Amino acid sequence: MKNFAIIGLDCADPKLMFEEFWDELPNIRKLAQNGSYGKLESTIPPITVPAWMSMVTGKDPGTLGFYGFRNRKDYSYDSITFANSKKVKYETIWETLGKRGYKSIALGVPLTYPPKPINGYLVTSFLTPSTEFNYTYPKELKKEIEKWVGNYMLDVENFRTENKQRIIDEVYEMTDKRFEVAKHLVTEKEWDFFMMVEMGPDRMHHAFWAHHDPTHFKHDPNSPFKYAIKDYYIYLDKKIGELTKLFPEDTTIMLNSDHGIQKMVGGIAINDWLIEKGYLVLKEKPTKRTSIDTLIDENKIDWLKTKAWALGGYNGKIMLNVRGREPLGLIRKDEYEKVRDEIKKELKAITDEHGKNIGTIVYKPEEIYQEINNIPPDLIVHLGNLTWRALGSVGNKKIWLHENDTGPDDANHAQNGITLINKGLIPRKITQVHDVVLKHFRVK
């Protein structure tokens, strides 16, 4: 059976890759000559977790039970748990192939920490606490990696910063080391299936979008970082060319991303909005911007009067305070749908500071997922179709902000990522990548 390789580029965007920069990406263009390429519809929400794990299991976020990096552990107010490999209950592509005797290499795929046994080799992702922890399977692979590249880089330290040159330096170093490890693995180890994920595009987009996009309100046409994103795509193309030359002849090669990228207009202080609407009631107002987690931990929320609260991020998650479900639930179960629909309607009516509707999309989990596992939010909110971020903090001076509450960030995720295959037809949805690979190996 011929080899199959996936090169994952976190956040790589179809408009950038296939339109704006296409003519300057010769190696990627060459891969597409006898194949196909286009948009890959991501998960809802289109975020690293759960999107990559949906790709490699074929399961949507509800079935996986992951609704983001942070999820509710139970129905108490302060029980937040972080997604990791131990909580993945479905087989990945490499686990299914391993049972059939195929060998795999998985490099940097999110939600592979802590490392699980694999019929082959595994290097965990940026969600690993640090390289002080074991990040490989087998354990001995860590020593080989250090021999190949020295100190391996899982991620860029604090990419939301004004020190832009440091971000460029660290992203290039990280990408170089990841592709160097990939080259050693594909040439020195036996494999049938290879998959890697490079985080660099995501870090570059979030750090430099305002410098790149002339329509962004922060754009400076004279910025020294105006071409930072374009230059990085050209560099990635070179790295992809170097790596794919090392694959066995007739290898099927895919490029995929977990979501795209777009301009972020600003942030909506979603908990402050809930307070303004009377859904969230505090015992006392904070004197400064405070995270919702801190208010919960310090018992500053009047749960007996509160109907809803939210977790922020690139999307918003609304939790309802339901009687008999949450410890101090207020909403009766027979009025749950009425309240949920009421909040959904008001969220969809949110305007910008000039009174123009921003086009928010609000999802009920049971309407978009095949199954619901673990504890989902009651509503998933794409503010302005993800042109606005959900700010979870409380005590902001106003509802609309044009700076991020977790550091400089000028871009938000977009629903469509990229996909490209050097032979055959591309999948349309991110969950279909799994089936494309298994079909190649004639595994059902």
Say what the pLDDT of residue 159 is: 73
Please identify which residue in the block is written with the tokens 């207009």.
Answer: 265
Q: Which regions in the chain score pLDDT beneath 70?
A: 404-407
Neighbours of 366 (CB within 10 A): 10
Stated pTM of the model: 0.97
Residue among 431, 442, 384, 386 nearest 412 (CA): 386
Say what the pLDDT of residue 403 is: 77
Say what the pLDDT of residue 162 is: 77
Say what the pLDDT of residue 158 is: 77
Say what the pLDDT of residue 405 is: 64
Say what the pLDDT of residue 283 is: 97
CA distance 346 to 330: 19
The CATH number of the domain covering residues in 4-262+413-440: 3.40.720.10
Say what the pLDDT of residue 444 is: 82
CA distances for 289 relative to 197, 271, 315, 389, angstroms:
35, 11, 19, 16
211 token code pair = 């410098």
Q: Where in the chain is the domain with CATH 3.40.720.10?
A: 4-262+413-440
